[in-house]
Amino acid sequence: MDNTMLDNTLLLLLIQLIPLLYILSTGLYGADFFRGTSFAKTYKQPALIITIVTHVAFIGFLTAPEGYRLNYSSSMIMNMVALTLGVVYMFIEFSTKTDKTGFFVLSFATGAQVLASFILSTSPEGGRVFSGIGIGIHLFSAIFSLSAIAIAGLYSFLYILLFRQIKNNSFGFLFENLPSLEVLEELIKHAVAFGFLFLTITILAGVIGTTQSSKVINLFDPKLIALLIMWLLYGVILFIRRLFGWDTIHTAYLLIALFACITGLVVLMSIFSPTFHGMSF
Amino acid sequence: MNIISVGVNHKTAPIEIRERVSLSEVQAKDFLTNLIDDSIAQEAMVLSTCNRTELYVVPGMPEVNGNYLKDYLISYRNVRNEVRPEHFFNRFGGNTARHLFEVASAIDSLILGEGQILGQVKDAYRVAVETQSAGILLTRLCHTAFSVAKKVKTKTRIMEGAVSVSYAAVELAQKIFSNLSMKKILLVGAGETGELAAKHMFQKNARNIVITNRTLSKAEALAEELGTNQVLPFETYKEHLHEFDIIITAVSTKDYALKEPELQKSMQQRRLKPVIILDLGLPRNVDPEIGKLKNMFLKDIDDLKHIIDKNLEMRRAELPKVQQIIDEELAGFGQWINTLKVRPTIVDLQSKFLEIKEKELERFRYKVSEEELRRMERLSDRILKKILHHPIKMLKAPVDTADSIPSKVNLVRNIFDLEEQNQLKS
């Protein structure tokens, strides 16, 4: 990808349009959740579908010059995080028939997309495009891991809010509108299981990709260390659940902390150290 | 609109008075028959529930008014010493319609938005139909009231949320567990409160309900009624606590029926799977310390009242929407009443033109063939239809006030030279 991107009117238009679509979808989900607006209830799902389809088309246009291969850049990672969050949330909504958590998940997706579009419009230089199936799987599964971690963190946050409301007898707005604790717990469990699966794939694909490549990666790269810690903790959570039962409330606190750490780390590293595990090209 | 409503309800009279004037279905039928047979009413309906006894009457004689009907009901029930006219409310015309719409949509109920009243209004109408005391006006009034209630139910949240302790318990359980049919429920105490809670749980698809009670036969009877047929002896039920996701207690005890060590042990056996205990007993049946256990939700009656208060507040906030629906339907009903007043003129108009048509066709009956006559008849019908369309449309058109109806009617009658109308009812 090069500066010719900025010459492409359609791409420029989409860079501006996609965050607006995310904001619109999030706004509609928010209006339905907080105000019960019938207009928002009717149009929130079509808006999300349009957003996702447009975003997929945008990624297609963006990666077309490089043979539809993703590059390693902050904007691309943020773009993909927003897209996968949107897709995963839509899957959750269709499969669980629960449409009351969209505002919370999509808010994060919107944040990621706004950041992605901002980076892309201010610094259109793309990152390095990687060849090879191993590194492709590594990148994809890392993005899905991030989305699973985000969803686990967001649903954990909602779980704690509802749990506290019920415990404290404050049967207010969230009590009325959020799905049951059991549904939220199931969503967290699935997010953790998928998170662990994708983190494992990320690590395995990364190891295979590195052994096949002549390049040397920095083993002390914070992203790499964070990835391993995350994988370990997610594994421990699943292991504890199978052996000793599931103390959701404490697990939820841990998942929120992990989500906050990884988000902060990704954002900081994307801005201050946008290299692929310290690899020089 | 000549329709009167009088009655006693929870807003106008205490229960001692309400129970004096209430009418059973048999009594209501007899009462309505008397009203019609004595020509006191052209149409009549009685709505009698635990919170109200109300009459809706289209008078049959000029002297029949609200006071007359109050007196008639007091005499009929023979309660002149206890019940006075001041215990009654009295409405007339549009206010009667508004009152019935408010009653049917449950905003006039003791518990705002309660779900039973619409069925009771429908029953009252059925009784009126069976006694042939429901005419065109009451039928239209009742059907509009049913339509109002349906709109209120679907377009507002006035009937949403639990407003009784046992329903609040179910609502809370559903906020913790998504599907009650997958949960095992223990009911400790088969008294009235426990029974109500178990029935509400059953309505929400809970099927795995186990009942324990000091008197085992009572537990067995309730289990049979619910169709679950699962009971546990009161002496040994605590050994099974870990098996249950929801525990409802409603027993009379001096000491706590469930104590913290028992539940602590059961939670260990459950490997921290959440439990909700709904303590519906008074005095409380469950040690409050149990609420501090991990993944344990303990709620007593006071806690559940928070849900009820919140739901009532939410229902009250819906009142303006309900009033708007009632206002709209009331306007439509008023327009329909107005069309009743122009109906005789429309009938006269149509008769007059038909008469002209037939006279004119008669002149040609033997001058043309049958086929030609039929064609002429069809042509005349089409012309008449087109000529009458506008005057009829004008007569039926909405008016700002009922006062403008006579002038409109008179105009049409004069233009088309219709015979004088006997009376134009106001």
Of the partner residues B161, B178, B306, the one whose CB lies closest to the CB of residue A182: B178
More confident residue, A246 or B309: B309
Q: Which residues pair with B46 in a beta bridge?
A: B55
Contact of B8 with B79, CB cutoff 8 Å: no
Interface check A174 vs B, CB under 8 A: no
Contact criterion met (CB < 8 Å) for B175 and A175: yes
Q: What is the DSSP string of A99-119?
A: -SSHHHHHHHHHHHHHHHHHH
Single-letter residue type at B31: F
Question: Which residue of chain A is at minimal alpha-carbon distance from B172?
Answer: A166
Neighbours of A101 (CB within 10 A): 24
Contact of B170 with B198, CB cutoff 8 Å: no
Cβ-Cβ pairs closer than 8 A, A with B, add up to 51
* Cβ neighbourhood burial of B185 (10 Å; 0-12, 13-18, 19+): buried
The percentage of residues in chain A with a pLDDT greater than 90, rounded to a whole number, is: 26
How far is the C-alpha of A172 from the C-alpha of B307, rounded, in Å? 9
Q: Would you name the residues of B annotated as active-site residues?
A: 50
Query: Of A3-7, B38-42, B132-136, where does mean pLDDT reach its minimum?
Result: A3-7
Q: Above 50 in pLDDT, residue B425? A: no
How far is the C-alpha of B38 from the C-alpha of B107, rounded, in Å? 34
Q: Above 70 in pLDDT, residue A126? A: no
Structural domains in chain B, CATH included, are 4-159 (3.30.460.30), 165-313 (3.40.50.720), 335-415 (no CATH)
Quick one: tokens of B90?
């009295």
- Sort out which chain A residues have CB atoms less than 8 A from B307's CB and list them: 171
Q: Above 70 in pLDDT, residue B80? A: yes
Of the partner residues B172, B272, B307, the one whose CB lies closest to the CB of residue A246: B272
Q: Above 90 in pLDDT, residue B254? A: no
Neighbours of A154 (CB within 10 A): 24
Q: Give the side-chain half-sphere CA count within 13 A for B364.
A: 15
More confident residue, A95 or B38: B38
**Preferred mutation among B178, B246, B301 to probe A, highest tally of A CBs within 10 A:** B178
Residue A246: band (very low, low, confident or very high) from pLDDT cuts 50, 70, 90: low
pLDDT tens for each residue of A87-116:
888 888 887 777 888 999 999 999 989 988
Question: Which residue of chain B is at minimal alpha-carbon distance from A186?
Answer: B178
The percentage of residues in chain B with a pLDDT greater than 70, rounded to a whole number, is: 96
What is the structure's pLDDT at B9? 93
Q: Above 50 in pLDDT, residue A272? A: yes
Q: Give the side-chain half-sphere CA count within 13 A for B115.
A: 10
Residues with Cβ within 8 Å of residue B75, at least 6 apart in sequence:
none
Q: Above 80 in pLDDT, residue B401? A: no
Structural domains in chain A, CATH included, are 1-129 (1.20.120), 130-281 (no CATH)
Q: In what order do the strands lie in the sheet with B275-279?
A: B231-233, B208-213, B184-188, B246-249, B275-279, B296-300
Query: Of A43-57, A232-246, B292-306, where does mean pLDDT reach its minimum?
Result: A232-246
The percentage of residues in chain A with a pLDDT greater than 70, rounded to a whole number, is: 84
Q: Give the side-chain half-sphere CA count within 13 A for A220.
A: 0
Mean pLDDT of B264-279: 89
Contact criterion met (CB < 8 Å) for B294 and A182: no
Interface check B154 vs A, CB under 8 A: no
Q: Which residue has the tokens 């929870």?
A: B10
Most confident among A35-39, A185-189, A251-255, B35-39 (mean pLDDT): B35-39
ipTM of the complex in this document: 0.76
Interface check A67 vs B, CB under 8 A: no
**Average model confidence (pLDDT) across chain B:** 90
Q: Above 60 in pLDDT, residue A279? A: no
What is the structure's pLDDT at B272? 77
Of the partner residues A166, A167, A244, the one whose CB lies closest to the CB of residue B271: A244
Of the partner residues B175, B179, B295, the one whose CB lies closest to the CB of residue A247: B295
How far is the C-alpha of A33 from the C-alpha of A45, rounded, in Å? 13
pLDDT tens for each residue of B333-363:
988 888 787 888 888 888 989 999 999 999 8
- Sort out which chain B residues have CB atoms less than 8 A from A170's CB and list them: 306
What is the structure's pLDDT at B424? 43
More confident residue, B79 or B271: B79
Interface check B306 vs A, CB under 8 A: yes
Convert A27-56 into a string of H (helix), E (strand) and C (coil): HHHHHHHHHCCHHHHHHHHHHHHHHHHHHH
Mean pLDDT of B206-225: 91
What is the structure's pLDDT at A2? 47
- Sort out which chain B residues have CB atoms less than 8 A from A164's CB and list them: none
Kindly state the DSSP code that residue B286 receives in the 8-state scheme. Answer: B
Residue A118: band (very low, low, confident or very high) from pLDDT cuts 50, 70, 90: confident
Q: Kindly state the helix (H) or strand (E) to which residue B127 belongs, with its residue range.
A: helix B117-130
Contact criterion met (CB < 8 Å) for B294 and A246: no
